């Protein structure tokens, strides 16, 4: 089968190679991949790839070999999945606890755009609890996580301010019901909750906009600039603010994937697809995603390839 592997070349970050089909571990199903999505964080991993890196975490396709233990969907079932790696391939092994069945109403392109960003958004919002009537500031809202967080939070009754440096992206976030600002200094606090994903100087500014007793959840560092917090500066800001680190990872993912699928099927969540292309264009698409030339998710199709 064909698989994409890292090259270490920034201009051509992945290349095709021949590889054997995966040998299934207990509790895994073999999925014929129809579509996979790229994540901007993956472009950073490809800059200096680890020798064992086999990329690909967001896939949709067809079960062609069910798990031997009888768990999970049967042969011929359309699924969305979140494997630990190996999804940029014609076939991939996925733990059955990290698969969800797709209805006929959801195509593989939209399904592939759900896993990492959608699971992150769900789990992030669960971390802060009930949102009805609460004021929420989301920094770094340009990516897929920002889209899903905004739509889900507004749908849950929150008053959302979304910060994005990209005017075109801001238009979409405004359509979803957010107030849009392009610098964190322009956000009008105080906020009950701040969801911070840019790092650098933005975190300390965002922290100053939390109400006394509120919460800041730090879930990313998109600027790739480390954060420095001055304890004495914090003393002059809001009191009793909780700062919490968040990372989405931790299988099983199947239940969250099923929730995302249900929300899409009900018209309550709308994946934003910025590019759909044949997977022979993966390298170029990764470069464009890294350089922020794609608005929304980038999805690659394996159908019709070699």
Question: Which CATH number does the domain housing residue 152 bear?
Answer: 3.90.180.10
Question: What residues make up the domain containing 143?
Answer: 118-245
Q: How far apart are the C-alpha atoms of 33 and 261, rounded to whole Å?
A: 18
Instruction: Specify whether the CB–CB gap between 84 and 32 falls below 8 A.
Output: no
pLDDT of residue 305: 39
Write the pLDDT tens digit of every residue in 66-113.
999 999 999 999 999 999 999 999 999 999 999 999 999 999 999 999
Between strands 28-38 and 58-65, the pairing is: antiparallel
199: confidence class by pLDDT, cuts 50, 70, 90? confident
Closest of 7, 19, 6 to residue 89, by C-alpha = 19
Instruction: Tell me: do 122 and 205 sit in the same domain.
Output: yes
pLDDT of residue 224: 80
Higher pLDDT, 24 or 306: 24
Instruction: Tell me: do 106 and 122 sit in the same domain.
Output: no
Q: How far apart are the C-alpha atoms of 110 and 141, rounded to whole Å?
A: 20
304: confidence class by pLDDT, cuts 50, 70, 90? very low
Closest of 25, 97, 47 to residue 256, by C-alpha = 97
Q: Is the pLDDT of residue 234 over 80?
A: no
Number of domains within the chain: 2
Q: Average pLDDT of the chain? A: 93
Q: Is the pLDDT of residue 122 over 60?
A: yes
Which residue's structure tokens are 């990492």? Answer: 116
For the chain, strand residue ranges (E) read: 2-6, 14-18, 28-38, 58-65, 78-81, 91-95, 99-101, 135-138, 159-163, 179-181, 191-196, 210-218, 242-245, 273-278, 297-301
Q: How far apart are the C-alpha atoms of 142 and 137, rounded to whole Å?
A: 13
b/e code 30-56 from CB counts within 10 Å (16+ = b) = bbbbbbbbbbbebbeebeebeeeebbb
Write the pLDDT tens digit of every residue in 236-285.
668 888 899 999 999 999 999 999 999 999 999 999 999 999 999 999 99
Q: What percent of the chain is helix, strand and coil (3-state, nearest 5)?
A: 30, 25, 45
Instruction: Specify whether the CB–CB gap between 124 and 215 falls below 8 A.
Output: no
Instruction: Tell me: do 193 and 239 sit in the same domain.
Output: yes
Q: Is the pLDDT of residue 6 over 90?
A: yes
Instruction: Tell me: do 127 and 53 sit in the same domain.
Output: no
Instruction: Tell me: do 100 and 47 sit in the same domain.
Output: yes
Write the pLDDT tens digit of every residue in 154-177.
999 999 999 998 787 889 999 999
How much is the average pLDDT of 118-136? 96
pLDDT of residue 231: 74
pLDDT of residue 306: 33
121: confidence class by pLDDT, cuts 50, 70, 90? very high
Q: How far apart are the C-alpha atoms of 9 and 14, rounded to whole Å?
A: 8
Is residue 68, in this structure, part of any structural domain at all? yes
Is residue 70, in this structure, part of any structural domain at all? yes
Q: Is the pLDDT of residue 235 over 70?
A: no
């Amino acid at each position: 089968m064909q698989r994409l592997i890292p090259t270490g070349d920034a201009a051509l970050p992945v290349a095709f190679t021949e590889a054997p089909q995966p040998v299934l571990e207990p509790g895994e199903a073999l999925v014929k991949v129809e579509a996979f999505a790229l994540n901007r964080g993956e472009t950073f991993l490809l800059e200096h790839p680890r020798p064992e890196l086999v990329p690909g975490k967001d896939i949709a396709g067809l079960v062609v070999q069910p798990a031997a233990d009888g768990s999970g969907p049967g042969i011929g079932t359309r699924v969305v999945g979140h494997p630990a790696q190996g999804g940029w391939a014609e076939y991939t092994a996925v733990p059955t606890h990290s698969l969800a069945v797709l209805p006929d109403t959801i195509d593989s392109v939209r399904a592939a755009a759900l896993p990492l960003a959608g699971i992150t958004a769900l789990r992030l919002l669960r971390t802060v609890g009930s949102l009805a009537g609460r004021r929420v500031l989301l920094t770094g809202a340009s990516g897929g996580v920002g889209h899903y967080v905004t739509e889900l939070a507004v749908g849950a009754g929150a008053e959302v301010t979304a910060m994005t440096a990209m005017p075109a992206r801001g238009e979409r976030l405004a359509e979803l019901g957010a107030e849009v600002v392009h610098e964190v200094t322009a956000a009008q606090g105080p906020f009950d909750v701040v969801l911070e994903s840019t790092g650098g100087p933005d975190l300390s500014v965002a922290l100053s906009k939390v109400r006394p007793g509120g919460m800041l959840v730090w879930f990313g560092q998109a600027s790739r600039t480390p954060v420095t917090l001055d304890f004495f500066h914090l003393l002059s800001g809001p009191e009793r603010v909780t700062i919490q680190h968040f990372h989405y990872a931790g299988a099983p993912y199947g239940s969250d994937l099923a929730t995302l699928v249900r929300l899409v099927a009900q018209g309550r969540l709308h994946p934003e697809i910025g590019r759909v292309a044949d997977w022979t264009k993966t390298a170029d698409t990764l470069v464009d995603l890294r350089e922020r030339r794609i608005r929304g998710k980038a999805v690659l199709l394996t159908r019709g390839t070699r």
